[in-house]
Every structure is written in structure tokens, then in C-alpha cells.
Amino acid sequence: EKGGYDHYMRKEIHEQPTALRQILECHSSGEGLPDLDSAFLDGIREVQFVACGTSYHAALYGEYVATERGIPASTHLASEYATHARPVSEGTLVVAVTQSGETADTLGAIETAQRADARTLAVTNVVGSSAARVCDGALYIRAGPEIGVAATKTFSSQVVALSLFADQLAGEDSPSGPVDFGSLPGGVERVLETSRSRDIAERYRGRDAFFFIGRGVGYPVALEGALKFKEISYEHAEGFAAGELKHGPLALVTPASVVFAIFTGQDDEKLLGNVREAQTRGATVVAVTDGTNEEVLRQADDILSIPEAPPTVAGLLANVQLQLVSYHAAALLGRPIDKPRNLAKSVTVE
């Protein structure tokens, strides 16, 4: 059932090219999103994403894409939304991003939104799930079942689904064109075939802390890289917006730290400055990069390569590299990868 892999997580990481082709093909074969009647989006002028954990990171990534397309969008932790709801108007759509469709915090946020009369949409992997049933509409990410507690392929498919949703909502008068994800499934295949992630995990095993930094879409990827790393390896890992390092987290950086810097082509020069800040404190920096910026190659202590791609695609490719690093770090430590301690696949308590 694990298809020859030791763990579901590894199998699911490797299923990403197929999962991504599934959602991209069903989109290109029809007019607009197959699950959404175009009238559903009529009059929507603002989007509020609500989600938890990995889905929150996918939503934040989606917010960056939507904002580039000129859509006012914001992302909220579902568990906070019920306590601190945002004002909604007739033109507000609250989008619940939830792989399982059963997360209690997210269902609570939907309830809060509906009490305020907001229109609601579920972006989910599970047809007929609670979120799909209670929301006014549902958009399915078509990733196939995900068994490992660590979310992997669903993150990538959520980001693509949210980007396609942003395309549909942005329509003709968007300031930027749609993201071309055509190269994504093949790019993920390349990463899976060529990744040096096991070597990297082995080389830096035993370090005190693992930090992940990025800018633009590299920021949600940094958060997701750190969540995955801590969740399955139990090592101390934190993700930061790279510019924030100097506002506090830099105090944690020592020669025993490893910093993963995610280069997507968005503000790479500034990110290089942040890399130097960490190196000055003795940290080792692993750059996730397509290698086109020679300065990045010169400055980094180690490299994880991704194929050349536009920033929105590059962020997803970098995320796959980081999924693999986490997987190998946890495997080397003998962790129960598919069922990390204290965690459940679907969190049904608030």
C-alpha cells in the first residue's frame, strides 16, 4: 500500500507530479474552475483566507498570488478568527483552506463568517467533507488521499488551486497575467530525481537549530519548511520572513545553527544581505536556488538546486526540496515519520 516506499510521507512527496497534473489538467480542459459556477464569484471584491498549519501556509502563498493579480486578500489563522473576526461586507468571500475539511478550528472560523453573513468557499481535498458541506461553494484540490500526518502533496495542490481561483476572480483587468504552472510537474520530477537532500540532512545532523528564511512567496515556504522539520524530526526549527531576522531572531543564530535560505527570484539581493547577517554570526547557510545568480552560489555554504522557473513556481519547487530534507532528517533520527508524537492527521478539537 505504500507503493514500495518506507513511509506514506515519502510516497506522497513522490506523488506530487501526478497530483499537480490532475488539478492543472482538469482546469485547462474546461472553462474556468470546474467546481465553481462563475456566478458564484460575482460581486466579490475582497477575500479572507482562514486555515491552520500547513493549510495556513498554502493560504498565505495564495494571498501573495491573489494580491499580485490585484485582489484584496488577507490570511488569518482559523483558531484566531473566531475570537478576532475581521469585518466583512457583501463583497467579502471567506475561503476556508482545509485538506481534510474536518479541522475544528477552521469549521469554527466558517461558522463565525457565516454568522456575519459572509459568502464562504471551502478549498479542500475531501469531497463531502464537513467544510465542503457547510460552505456555500467547494473547490476540490484533487490531490488524492493523503495518509501521512505531515501534509505534503496537499500543500502544493492547495497553492495551485488557490492560484487558479485567483485567476478566475481577477478576470481580464488584472495588473498581472496568470501564473503559468506548465513547468511545475516536470520541475518537481527533476527535484525528486536529483535532490541532494539526504546528504544535506546527514551533514547537518546534530546541529542545535534549523532556521528557514525567505521573502515574497519564499516566506510561506520558510514557515512551511520549519513546520515540517519540527513536526517530524522533533528538532528546533523556526521560519522567518528574512527581513525580520535582524528584528529579534538573529539573537538565536550561532555557529551551531543551519539557515535554509529560499531564493525564488523575488528580492534575491535583499535575501543575500540576510544570508550574510546569519553567516557573520557563524551560521551555515544552505541556499535553495536555481543557480542563475552567481553571487548566491558564491555566498552560500551549501546548495539545494531547483530548476529555473518564475517565482511562484520556484517557491513550490523549493518547498519540495525542504519536504525531502525534513523527511531524511527524521529518517536518520529514526522518528515515526507517518505518525509524529502528539499529533493527529485531522484535528477535531478547538
Give catalytic residue positions: 345
Cell of 153: 502533496
Backbone angles phi, psi at 289, to 5 degrees: -155, 155
Question: Footprint of ligand M6R on residues 225-244 (CB under 6 A)?
Answer: 227, 231
Backbone dihedral angles phi then psi of residue 249, each to the nearest 5 degrees: -60, -25
Pick from 150, 184, 226, 253 the residue near ligand M6R by CB under 6 A. Answer: 150
Euclidean distance between CA atoms 212 and 194, whole angstroms: 21
Strands 284-289, 92-98: pairing is unpaired
Tell the smallest beta-carbon distance from residue 159 to ligand M6R (Å): 13
Alpha helical stretches, state H, the chain: 8-14, 16-28, 53-68, 78-81, 104-115, 130-134, 153-170, 184-194, 197-203, 218-233, 268-280, 294-299, 311-332
> Can you give 214-233 as a three-state secondary structure string?
ECCCHHHHHHHHHHHHHHHH
CB of residue 146 vs ligand M6R: minimum separation in angstroms?
A: 9
What part of residues 36-95 is at the interface with ligand M6R (CB under 6 A)? 52-55
Identity at 86, one-letter amino acid code: R
322 is a contact residue toward ligand M6R (CB under 6 A): no
Q: Which range touches ligand M6R (CB under 6 A), out of 79-87, 146-154, 200-208, 296-304?
A: 146-154
Binding of residue 100 to ligand M6R (CB under 6 A):
yes
Q: Does 132 help bind ligand M6R (rule: CB under 6 A)?
A: no
Cβ count near 281 (within 10 Å): 15
323 binds ligand M6R (CB under 6 A): no
221 near ligand M6R, judged by CB under 6 A: no
Min dist CB 209 to ligand M6R, Å, is 20
Helix, strand or coil, per DSSP, at residue 124: strand
98 is a site residue for ligand M6R (CB under 6 A) = yes
Smallest distance from ligand M6R to CB 52, Å? 4
Number of residues interacting with ligand M6R: please give it, by CB under 6 A: 16
Among 26, 116, 252, 347, binds ligand M6R (CB under 6 A): 347
Selected binder of ligand M6R within 24, 59, 65, 149 (CB under 6 A): 149
Enumerate residues 269-288 that contact ligand M6R by CB under 6 A: none
3-class DSSP assignment, residue 261: strand
Nearest C-alpha neighbor of 162 from the set 260, 252, 43, 66: 66
Residues 66, 82, 95, 151: which binds ligand M6R (CB under 6 A)? 151
Looking at beta carbons only, is 51 or 287 nearer to ligand M6R?
51
Closest CA to 114 of 45, 62, 50, 71: 50
Shortest distance (Å) from residue 16 CB to ligand M6R: 15
Q: Nine-digit cell at 338?
A: 507517518
Is 103 a residue that touches ligand M6R (CB under 6 A)?
yes
Rounded to a whole number of angstroms, the minimum distance from the CB of residue 248 to ligand M6R is 24
What cell numbers appear for 247 in the block? Answer: 528584528
Residues of the shown chain interacting with ligand M6R in the complex, contacts defined by CB under 6 A: 52-55, 98-100, 103, 106, 149-151, 227, 231, 346-347
